[in-house]
Structure 1
Amino acid sequence: MSWKSLFSKAFAANPNRLHFAAHSHHLWPDAAYSGHMAACDDAMALADHKWDKIMGPVWSEAQGHIAAELKLPDPQTIAFAPNTHDFLIRIMSAIPAHPVRVLTTDGEFHSFRRQMDRWSETGKVIVEPVAADALVEKAQTGDHHLIFASQVLFNSGTILDGMEQLAGLARPDGPWVVIDGYHGYMALDTDLSPFADMIFYMSGGYKYAMAGEGVCFLHAPPGYAPRPPVTGWYAAFDDLALPPGEIGYAPDGRRFLGSTFDPSGLYRFNAVQAMLRKVGLSTAVISEHVAKLQTYFVGQDPLPNMVLLNPLDENPHARFLAYKGQNAASLHASLTDRNIVTDVRGDVLRIGFAIYHDIDDVDRLIAVIANMP
């Protein structure tokens, strides 16, 4: 079965493109365009009053979709922001220790790593990066205020093992456990229900949720960081009538909100979620489709001089294949010249698969690689 028709606008805009970077920037389905237009329509029709709708039914609908996907017991624990970095800043601001001792993996994304490096320069944090497979054991020492790890490492595709064990270490007075789910949300079936009251989980719509930028979210467990010092006026949206000098906070996930934001991402997210449900495309169904394409690609051995960092087995797998080799950058550049979009990080070429691919697309990619000089 083909689902290409769901992405007709993206294909029409660049008909000859082969987009194998769904893990980096997912092509927008037509539903995302419709959602974006709905945001514009509401802005035109409602003007100032659009916020009643955005912070009401639009917000609640988006929370409901995320809670259902992650099996969270309470959608109200979810807050939204333009990016996950905003949430990191607010979480860190709420940790009273100085310096903050941070345990993390040695494969975190540039944004987190850069911020930690800069804070390390100022003495605000002491960061201890370890290999992903050593994280749980190291966390049990109790020497850290914050444990931060990606559900799926962005570079290698390694899937975090031990999320529940990490959650078991979390306490409202520390340590706090933050899971960056950007490469896990809607790529892996994820059930947070056993430890939803113990961990922070953040992700966004840019990748597998197919909703574009500007719609990131945080699940904040009750009782953790009730009053983040880095805050915006939306965090007191329920208490705008408080007397001057009283700093109120929403009692739920909204305590992590900032200030005025572009709401169009929420509209896109809701529209895409509605589309996926209408056509029966759950995370499991998409993952099964992607797994078949990945298996076919790997079976053809198209990159014999590169090492596949995340081999296929019977376990859940990232939505991309990570090939390491000295020619990663040059291969990426050559593919780009041929209007084939992949992604490179240093000496790792990442090839991402999606619901808008079929076997013919994979064959085209393999043929181009085989005929490169």
Structure 2
Amino acid sequence: MSWKHLFSRSLEAAPGRLHFAAHSHHLWPDASFAGQVQAWEDAASLADHKWSRIMGPVWEEAQRHIAGELRLPDPATIAFAPNTHDFLVRIVASIDRHPVRVLATDGEFHSFRRQMDRWAEAGDVLVTTVPADRIAAEAADGAHDLIFASQVLFNSGTVLDSIAELAAMARPEGPWVVIDGYHGFMAIETDLSEVADRIFYLSGGYKYAMAGEGVCFLHAPPGFAPRPKVTGWYAAFDDLSLPPGQVGYASDGRRFLGSTFDPSGLYRFNAVQKMLADNGLTTARISEHVSGLQQYFLGGNPLDGMELLNPLTEGCHARFLAFRGDNAPSLHDHLTAQNVVTDVRGDVLRIGFAIYHDREDVDQLKVVLSA
């Protein structure tokens, strides 16, 4: 079974393509097109007044969807930005200590690593990295200002099991705990209700939320960084009448906002959320479908000789399979030549599954791999 009919535009745009990189660039469902059109139509009909709609019902609807997915007590703790890097900069800049002492896993994404490397060069941060299964033990000594960890590691698919343990260490005066949920949000069931008052959580719509780029978000716990040092005028959008010289902030998650942005991602996100709800496609149901395809793919050892870094076990699992081997780059090139989209990170080949796949697609993938 699949839900290909929900992705007819993307699939028909490249009918010969097998897209097994839903973990990288998730194909856009038809609903996202309707959302994009709605954004344009609102801009045309409302012109200058469109922001009242965007920062009102459109914004609030997106907040509610995210809060419901993550079991957050208050949707108002959520802010939006074009990318998660914007939020990383604002969070780190708000830490008073210099240099900022950062603890992270050794499997964080390039964007985080590059920024930390540059800040370390400049003497702005001191970074310690450890394997994900050791980060809680390393953080226990209290020697760090910022603890940063991915909910699901992008390269190996390892699922972090110490969020609650890390959250217990977080304090408004430090340390701050930031969870990068980009490979967790809408990929695995996530309940942050017990830790929402202590952790920052970052994610976005580019992957499993199926809404494309430009719609990233931050859950900011109350009392942490009430006045971010890197700030845009939207952080006081509801109080623009302050006298000159006074820098006001929203009291909720909007305190982390920047400035003018492209709102079309919010429209796409809301439209996709409605599509999922209309079709009864919860995160749990999608994960069950993906898990079945992963198990079917692994039958017969299609990549015998490569190491599966994230074996299928009980409990939550990444939406992709990560295979390590010296032949990963050449195998990726072979697949690309056959119009099969996967991706490779060094010696790791990642194969991602989605609701637009069925067993026939997996059979075709196996045929190409065996050629």
TM range (shorter): over 0.9
Matches for 1:1-373 after TM superposition, within 5 Å = 1-371=1-371
CA distance in structure 2 between the aligned counterparts of 1:282 and 1:97, rounded to whole angstroms: 42
CA distance in structure 2 between the aligned counterparts of 1:14 and 1:43, rounded to whole angstroms: 30
Please give the per-residue CA displacement for 1:166-195, whole angstroms capped at 9, x wherever unaligned: 000000000000000000000000000001
Please give the per-residue CA displacement for 1:342-363, whole angstroms capped at 9, x wherever unaligned: 0100000000000000000000
Instruction: Give the % identical residues.
Output: 72
- One-letter amino acid of the counterpart of residue 154, structure 1: F
- One-letter amino acid of the counterpart of residue 115, structure 1: Q
Q: Structure 2 length normalisation: TM-score? A: 1.00
CA distance in structure 2 between the aligned counterparts of 1:261 and 1:339, rounded to whole angstroms: 35
CA distance in structure 1 between the aligned counterparts of 2:150 and 2:321, rounded to whole angstroms: 17
CA distance in structure 2 between the aligned counterparts of 1:127 and 1:324, rounded to whole angstroms: 27
CA distance in structure 2 between the aligned counterparts of 1:97 and 1:298, rounded to whole angstroms: 49
CA distance in structure 2 between the aligned counterparts of 1:42 and 1:300, rounded to whole angstroms: 52
- One-letter amino acid of the counterpart of residue 4, structure 1: K
Q: Residue 305 of structure 1 aligns to a residue in which SS?
A: coil
- One-letter amino acid of the counterpart of residue 172, structure 1: P
Please give the per-residue CA displacement for 1:252-306, whole angstroms capped at 9, x wherever unaligned: 0000000000000000000000000000000000000000000011122101121
Q: CA deviation at 1:2?
A: 2.7
Please give the per-residue CA displacement for 1:196-224, whole angstroms capped at 9, x wherever unaligned: 00000010000000000000000000000
- One-letter amino acid of the counterpart of residue 85, structure 1: H
Q: Structure 1 length normalisation: TM-score? A: 0.99
- One-letter amino acid of the counterpart of residue 183, structure 1: H
CA RMSD of aligned residues (A): 0.5
Please give the per-residue CA displacement for 1:135-159, whole angstroms capped at 9, x wherever unaligned: 0100100000000000000000000
CA distance in structure 1 between the aligned counterparts of 2:289 and 2:152, rounded to whole angstroms: 19
- One-letter amino acid of the counterpart of residue 321, structure 1: L
Q: Residue 247 of structure 2 aligns to a residue in which SS?
A: coil
Q: Residue 25 of structure 1 aligns to a residue in which SS?
A: coil
CA distance in structure 2 between the aligned counterparts of 1:332 and 1:17, rounded to whole angstroms: 14
- One-letter amino acid of the counterpart of residue 14, structure 2: N
- One-letter amino acid of the counterpart of residue 257, structure 1: L
CA distance in structure 2 between the aligned counterparts of 1:170 and 1:141, rounded to whole angstroms: 12
Q: Residue 316 of structure 2 aligns to a residue in which SS?
A: coil
CA distance in structure 2 between the aligned counterparts of 1:290 and 1:259, rounded to whole angstroms: 38
CA distance in structure 2 between the aligned counterparts of 1:258 and 1:324, rounded to whole angstroms: 39
Q: Residue 115 of structure 2 aligns to a residue in which SS?
A: helix
CA distance in structure 1 between the aligned counterparts of 2:2 and 2:238, rounded to whole angstroms: 46
CA distance in structure 2 between the aligned counterparts of 1:168 and 1:298, rounded to whole angstroms: 38
CA distance in structure 1 between the aligned counterparts of 2:120 and 2:104, rounded to whole angstroms: 14
- One-letter amino acid of the counterpart of residue 370, structure 1: S
Q: Residue 274 of structure 1 aligns to a residue in which SS?
A: helix
Q: Residue 178 of structure 2 aligns to a residue in which SS?
A: strand
In structure 2, stretches of 5+ residues that fail to align are none
Q: Residue 356 of structure 1 aligns to a residue in which SS?
A: coil
Q: Residue 321 of structure 2 aligns to a residue in which SS?
A: strand
CA distance in structure 2 between the aligned counterparts of 1:312 and 1:47, rounded to whole angstroms: 51
Q: Residue 194 of structure 2 aligns to a residue in which SS?
A: helix
In structure 1, stretches of 5+ residues that fail to align are none
CA distance in structure 2 between the aligned counterparts of 1:350 and 1:42, rounded to whole angstroms: 39
CA distance in structure 1 between the aligned counterparts of 2:84 and 2:236, rounded to whole angstroms: 20
CA distance in structure 1 between the aligned counterparts of 2:334 and 2:38, rounded to whole angstroms: 39
Q: Residue 350 of structure 1 aligns to a residue in which SS?
A: strand
User: Which stretches of structure 1, 4 residues or more, deviate above 4 A after TM superposition?
Assistant: none
Residues matched between the structures, number: 371
CA distance in structure 2 between the aligned counterparts of 1:254 and 1:65, rounded to whole angstroms: 17
- One-letter amino acid of the counterpart of residue 32, structure 1: S
